[in-house]
Amino acid sequence: MENFFGSIYCWFESLFGANIAEYLWGYNCGTQDYTNPNVFNKIGLLVLLISLVLSFVYYYVLNSAKWNRWWHWLIVMFVCGIVNFYVGVQSVLADFLDGNIGDCLMYTRDENSEIISQLINESDCWMFGVANMIVSMIFFFVLSFVIKWKSTNCKHTPFL
Amino acid sequence: MKKRAFLYIMVILLCGCTEPEGRIHSDKKKGDSVSVCVDDTTINISKPTFCVYIENSGSMDGYVKGVTQFEQSVYSYLSDIKISGITDTLNLFYINSQVIQQGSDIEDFIKKLEPTTFKKKGGNRGTSDISDVIKTILKTIDGRTVALLVSDCIFSPGRGKDAEQYLVNQQIGIKNSMADFLKSNDCSIMFYQLNSQFDGFYYNREDRPTKIKEQRPFYMWIVGKTEYVAELRNRIPDNKIKGSGVQNVFTISQGNKSVNYAVVNGSGNFRLDRKNPKTNIIDAKKESRGKGDGKLTVSVNVDLSEFLLDDSYICDVQNWELNDKDFKLESVHKSSLNGYSHILKFASNIVKPTTLSAKLKMSVPQWVYDQNDEEGVDIRSNGAMRKTFGIKYQVEGVYEAFTANNNVYYTSIKININK
């Protein structure tokens, strides 16, 4: 269960890179083990919660016959994606800029400890935001089909 | 009543008879022969006791005539030991066929290092039975004692003896004494070679003297519990010893030890196995062209600080043995990561599931063989002036004791590699 969220995010690892993934898994350069908190779980739970709230709002708060077409649902899903894109970027970018990501994940160094290459760039943090957006939209899609059935006006949205 | 009185008297008499152990030396005078080093009444139980033995056989006279580098080296080393605070108790002895106590005053001891003093102290100065000397010293060492022996380490078989057989027997004797000691003691050894002016008689293997005034090697054996010897070397590095300075070093510790090690994340094209990230890698692939020469590479941080080995020894890839011929240890260098001393870099042209094992070998350094005088006859021939008769037999005796029962590796590390 502790690897559930991480496993889902790793479907999109090619977007944000293995080193950001290791950081989010909780790899600690000092201990050379996964002894830091699993950040995937923290972000994943937050994304799940936001997706649940937004789908609940659509189906039971908004719950409008004027908003029960499939493209209305799609708009809400994209709003969910945009919100979680921001959440994803901020989660990682703050640590990147504050230097909280371990040195061994950030750089390759030679025998004299001189930097040979930088392994994580700011663009990788933005790409994690994209991955987070996709994951949140998947959550929104699945949650929609779990909770929509009691909605009076939208239970057939997006389909079925 | 009479019976009760008799019993009381017997009890009093019995209580008065036994001396507490350790007070055995307190009434001994300086210069008296002793059989053990330590006086328990003066010990600080948190710090080791240092027992320093200077060999005072006839062949040592040339090192102490006047002020020599020998005296400078010994004086500086003993002073640094005292100043470092590593010990509160430093006892000084002469040693040949007997152990002769010399108190604890280093300055006085050094001032009196002269051939006349050596002669006066007695003992059998005519021969150097090094095996016996080492055996005697080992008997004085317990878990709280570090022994330092300063000697020219020259064997003296004597006239008419089979020198080669003598050397082999001495080697066996040293090996046996050391092996016995190692059965019940954690121990490491440092063996320093230094140089000094020598103005006196050199006695060859047949005890024939030759007058020389040259630079000659001498040695310091340091034997004790590993943590004490390591702390000593940490506080007094080799380059701090004055006089000629340390020319060569041999160190050895007990082997087959487990050490802390971990695969370096990002050192190759692989993932760490999250269940065992320090020892297991998965999805191993060759590096792309232009990076790592298109090979599978993996680096491992390892902590070898508990072994008293020079970086030059550890970083020599010849001293490592791999179990898989498809892998090569490309380099070993110092690690900058806290908790690790060195980083090993492995590479292979083949990617296959395997358990890669790397073992750090125990060996006698080449300088011991280079410095060995096998003949011991003519000090002025074949570069013998800079060598020591039979030195390799002493070192090999010690080496064989440490590597008995097939303990020929200091440590080994294992990395599980999966595709």
pLDDT in tens, A68-79: 999 999 999 999
Is residue B343 one of the residues assigned to a domain? yes
Cα–Cα distance, B217 to B63 (Å, whole number): 10
Same domain? B56 vs B87: yes
Residue B253 has pLDDT above 90, yes or no: yes
User: Crossing angle, helix A122-147 and helix A39-56, to 10 degrees?
Assistant: 50
Residue B22 has pLDDT above 50, yes or no: no
Domain, as residue range, for B65: 28-255+389-406
Same domain? B188 vs B168: yes
Mean per-residue pLDDT for B274-300? 87
Give yes or no for A109 touching B (CB within 8 A): yes
Cα–Cα distance, B307 to B249 (Å, whole number): 14
Same domain? B169 vs B212: yes
CA distances from A67 to A73, A141, B392 (A): 8, 17, 94
Cα–chain center distance at B80: 18
State chain A's mean pLDDT as an integer.
94
pLDDT of residue B289: 60
Same domain? B241 vs B269: no
pLDDT of residue B336: 86
Confidence of residue B156 (pLDDT cuts 50, 70, 90): confident
Mean per-residue pLDDT for A130-137? 97
Mean per-residue pLDDT for B55-62? 89
Decide: B267 and B345 in contact? Cβ < 8 Å.
Answer: yes
Give yes or no for A34 touching B (CB within 8 A): yes
Domain ranges of chain A: 4-150
CA angle (A151, A153, A156) in 5-degree steps: 80
Q: DSSP strand E in B77-167: where?
A: 89-95, 99-101, 145-151
Give yes or no for A22 touching B (CB within 8 A): yes
Upper half-sphere CA count for residue B238 (Cβ side, 13 Å) = 17
Confidence of residue B38 (pLDDT cuts 50, 70, 90): low
Same domain? B218 vs B283: no
Is residue B416 one of the residues assigned to a domain? no
Same domain? B223 vs B284: no
Confidence of residue B4 (pLDDT cuts 50, 70, 90): low
Mean per-residue pLDDT for B234-246? 92
Is residue B378 one of the residues assigned to a domain? no
Decide: A88 and A132 in contact? Cβ < 8 Å.
Answer: yes
Specify the number of domains making up chain B. Answer: 2
Residue A56 has pLDDT above 90, yes or no: yes
Choose from A32, A34, A119 for mutation: most chain B CBs within 10 A.
A32
Q: Taking CA atoms, what residue in A is nearest to B334? A: A111
For residue B95, with 0-12 CB atoms within 10 Å meaning exposed, 13-18 middle and 19 or more buried, which class applies? buried
Is residue B268 one of the residues assigned to a domain? yes
Residue B3 has pLDDT above 80, yes or no: no
Give yes or no for A111 touching B (CB within 8 A): yes
Report pLDDT digits (tens) over A99-110.
999 999 999 888
Upper half-sphere CA count for residue B336 (Cβ side, 13 Å) = 10
Same domain? B190 vs B49: yes
Mean per-residue pLDDT for B204-209? 89
Is residue B342 one of the residues assigned to a domain? yes
Is residue B396 one of the residues assigned to a domain? yes
pLDDT of residue B157: 84
pLDDT of residue B37: 67
Q: Nearest 5°: phi and psi at B327?
A: -105, 150
Q: Nearest 5°: phi and psi at B121?
A: -75, -15
Q: Taking CA atoms, what residue in A is nearest to B265? A: A104
How much of chain A exceeds pLDDT 70, in percent?
Answer: 100
Q: Taking CA atoms, what residue in A is nearest to B262? A: A32
Same domain? B246 vs B305: no
The residue written with tokens 């330590």 in the block is B38
Among the partner residues B266, B272, B278, nearest to A108 by beta-carbon distance: B266
Same domain? B49 vs B93: yes
Same domain? B118 vs B169: yes
Please name the residues between 261 and 300 in chain B that touch chain A, using a CB distance below 8 Å. 262-266, 271-272, 274, 277-278
pTM for this model (two decimals) = 0.81
Same domain? B87 vs B196: yes
Same domain? B301 vs B281: yes
